[in-house]
Amino acid sequence: MSCGRGVPIVVFGSGRGSNFRALAECARSGTLAANIAAVVTNVKHAGIAEIAREYNVPVLEIPHSGLEREAHEEAVINSLKVFKHEWIVLAGYMRLFTPKFIARYFDQTLGCTRIVNIHPSLLPAFAGADGYGDAVTYGVKLTGATVHLVSAGLDDGPIIAQESIVVDDFDTKQTLAERGLALEHRLYPKTLHRLLTEEWHVSCGPAQDGRARVVFGTKGGHK
């Protein structure tokens, strides 16, 4: 039981699962070169689990309540042992990882973790749980979504791709989230496919104090 053909991945989520559905749909149709080996959720009866079953993806339901953060992560790692995976893909996973977990998925050759996330804002603006709500509250005219590699900080780590949407004057959190999610559902599978199939490296860019970002292509660019 799994979904799609290509690089083996596992998807982590805590809620609705609309990004998972977009990923699974693309994996099934072949536009995402990934094999979704399992879904991990820390929430009982989460929407993502139900959708995973629709796509024949095994679900590991591992609630975190009553467990220390590290003990929960150990349980996740143990359950994942039988599922070959090269990447963890976060799709609405509402848990921060410990530095120990981050270190475990750090790839020395790549210089980054093998964990990807999608965030509902143009980072570094509006990190945290409510990107679309924060954009409406703040009154920005433009927001969007960011796909990034995960590091120890909150919604931090090398940016892979971003796309923007205009915030209309009469947008509510709900109307903005609707357009934002539609954008996410295009951006995430497309970006993940590039990450799994193209040449790229992590670069600090031309500035001396430049932050790490993902640069596609082998020729030119910064190391």
Scanning 16-24, 61-69, 71-79, 160-168 for contacts with ligand GRF by CB under 6 A, the matching segment is 16-24
Rounded Cα distance, 40 and 12, in Å = 5
Rounded Cα distance, 184 and 1, in Å = 26
Does 119 participate in binding ligand GRF (rule CB under 6 A)?
Answer: yes
Number of Cβ atoms within 10 Å of the Cβ of 168 = 11
Q: 3-state class of 99 per DSSP?
A: helix
Residue 119 is among the residues annotated as catalytic for this protein:
yes
Scanning 12-20, 62-70, 163-171, 205-213 for contacts with ligand GRF by CB under 6 A, the matching segment is 12-20
Q: Looking at 4, 17, 144, 189, which residue binds ligand GRF (CB under 6 A)?
A: 17
Structure tokens at 124: 């570094």
Query: How far from chain centre, in Å, is Cα 28?
Result: 19
Does 118 participate in binding ligand GRF (rule CB under 6 A)?
Answer: yes
Structure tokens at 94: 């509402």
Per-position x/- string for 74-103, each x denoting binding to ligand GRF as judged by CB under 6 A, each - no binding: -----------------xx-----------
Rounded Cα distance, 166 and 129, in Å = 20
Number of Cβ atoms within 10 Å of the Cβ of 65 = 8
Q: Looking at 6, 8, 15, 133, which residue binds ligand GRF (CB under 6 A)?
A: 15
Q: Looking at 4, 120, 144, 158, which residue binds ligand GRF (CB under 6 A)?
A: 120
Q: Binding residues for ligand GRF, per CB under 6 A? A: 13, 15-19, 91-92, 118-120, 181, 184
Tell me the catalytic residues.
119
